[in-house]
Amino acid sequence: MLFHTFWALILGFTLSGAVQAFASRKKMREQLGDDSFKSVFKASLFGIISSSCSYSASALAKSLFSKGANFTSSMVFMFASTNLVLELGLILWIMMGWQFAVAEFFGGAIMILLLKLLIPRLIPAQLIERSRESYESSKEANSTRKANWHDAAGYTIGDFKMLRYELIIGFVVAGLAAKVVPASFWRALFLSGNGIITSIQNVIIGPVIAFISFVCSVGNIPLAATLWHGGISFGGTISFIFADLIALPLVLIYRKYYGTKLAIRLTLVFWLVMSLSGLITEAIFSFLNLISAMDHNMSHTNQIGWNYTTVLNILAVALIVWIYWMYRTQVTDAVDQEFAKDLACGMQVRISDAPAEYELNGKTYYFCMPGCRNNFAENPNKFISADR
pLDDT band at 133 (very low <50, low <70, confident <90, very high): low
Residue 196 has pLDDT above 70, yes or no: yes
Return the domain boundaries, the chain. 2-133+144-328, 339-387
Hey, what long-range contacts does 127-131 have (CB within 8 A, 24 or more apart)? 127/261, 127/262, 127/265, 128/71, 128/262, 130/259, 130/262, 131/257, 131/258, 131/259, 131/262
Closest CA to 115 of 83, 63, 66, 79: 79
Check if the beta carbon of residue 332 is closer than 8 Å to that of residue 5: no
Closest CA to 52 of 92, 18, 12: 12
CA 382 from centroid of its chain's CA atoms? 28
**Phi, psi dihedrals of residue 359, rounded to the nearest 5°:** -105, 130
Q: How far apart are CA 278 and CA 117, in angstroms?
A: 17
pLDDT at 23 over 70: no
71-88 pLDDT per residue, tens: 999 899 889 888 887 777
What would the DSSP string read from start to end of 170-206? Answer: HHHHHHHHHHTS-HHHHHHHS--SSTHHHHHHHHHHH
Give the closest residue to 199 by CA, choosing from 140, 264, 284. 284
**What pTM was estimated for this model as a whole?**
0.67
Given a contact cutoff of 8 angstroms between Cβ atoms, the answer to whether 360 and 377 are in contact is no
**In terms of Cα–Cα distance, which of 80, 218, 215 is closest to 160?**
218
Highest mean pLDDT among 105-119, 130-144, 202-216: 105-119
Share of the chain above pLDDT 70, in %: 79
Between CA 21 and CA 5 the distance in angstroms is 25
